[in-house]
Amino acid sequence: MLARLERFRLIAAGQAEVLVLIVDSDGLLVERRLRAGELTCPPCGAVLAPWGHGRPREVRGDLGARLFVRPRRSRCTACQVTHVLLPEVVWPRRMDAAEVIGSGLEIAALGLGHRQIGARLGLAEGTVRGWIRRFRHRSEAVRRYFTVALVALADDPVMPEAAASPLSDAVSVIAAAHRAAALKWPAMNTVSPWAFAGRAIGGRVLTCTSPTS
């Protein structure tokens, strides 16, 4: 309740808030759901309405591919908070696709350093180092979140064995939760574990709060 009152205070003061909402990568599906009133505001639960588009951005995909994204924007019909609808294949404030970052984190879980990972992925060492540092900082919170998700998704959940580091533990449980989700919903097999992870945790794989955009 206090958080909601603070949002109304910011709006009243003319400081419009913008949040990120991770959605399906199928833009046509998202548009249909948005116009049908099927998307709701996470803070207050009211219906989201169309509200233009975010700025176009280029995201680096796997094997050097370039993804051009222009996220849809929406606005809550009740609390007036604006949401950028970001497709699950990308994460907030990242120039690389979720699958690319996830591949780097999987390699890091095997014990390789950022220089080796950067060379394998063809990316700057500093970029990879930033991913790893942020994920290490978030690893325990991510591990807990996806452990709960695994228990909720699997009929007979099998917890991954303890790994060499908290980062590796977090990577393992994300993979296990994705497998459980794919068994429950076969269509999830077409979604990468890292797109699944980003959508499940609201884009907060590398950041602890919902970022602005």
Question: Could you report the per-residue pLDDT of 143-172, keeping only the tens digit for each?
Answer: 999 999 999 999 999 999 998 899 999 999
pLDDT, tens only, 179-200: 999 999 999 999 999 999 999 9
Residue 106 and residue 31: Cα distance in Å, rounded? 33
pLDDT, tens only, 129-148: 999 999 999 999 999 999 99
Cβ atoms within 10 A of the Cβ of 51, count? 17
Q: Supply the pTM of this predicted model.
A: 0.85
Q: Is 193 exposed, middle or buried (0-12, 13-18, 19+ CB in 10 A)?
A: buried
Residue 103 and residue 192: Cα distance in Å, rounded? 10
pLDDT, tens only, 2-20: 344 334 333 333 444 578 9
Q: Is 17 exposed, middle or buried (0-12, 13-18, 19+ CB in 10 A)?
A: middle
Check residue 143 and give its pLDDT. 97
The rounded percent of the chain whose pLDDT value lies above 90 is 80
Domain segments of the chain as ranges:
2-87, 98-200
Residue 32 and residue 48: Cα distance in Å, rounded? 12
Check residue 208 and give its pLDDT. 72
Check residue 209 and give its pLDDT. 57
Check residue 18 and give its pLDDT. 73
Three-class SS state of 103: helix
DSSP string for residues in 109-170: HTT--HHHHHHHHT--HHHHHHHHHHHHHHHHHHHHHHHHHHHHH-SS--PPPP-SSHHHHH
- Residue 187 φ/ψ, nearest 5 degrees: -60, -20
pLDDT, tens only, 46-95: 999 999 998 898 999 987 789 899 999 999 999 999 999 999 999 998 99
Check residue 89 and give its pLDDT. 93
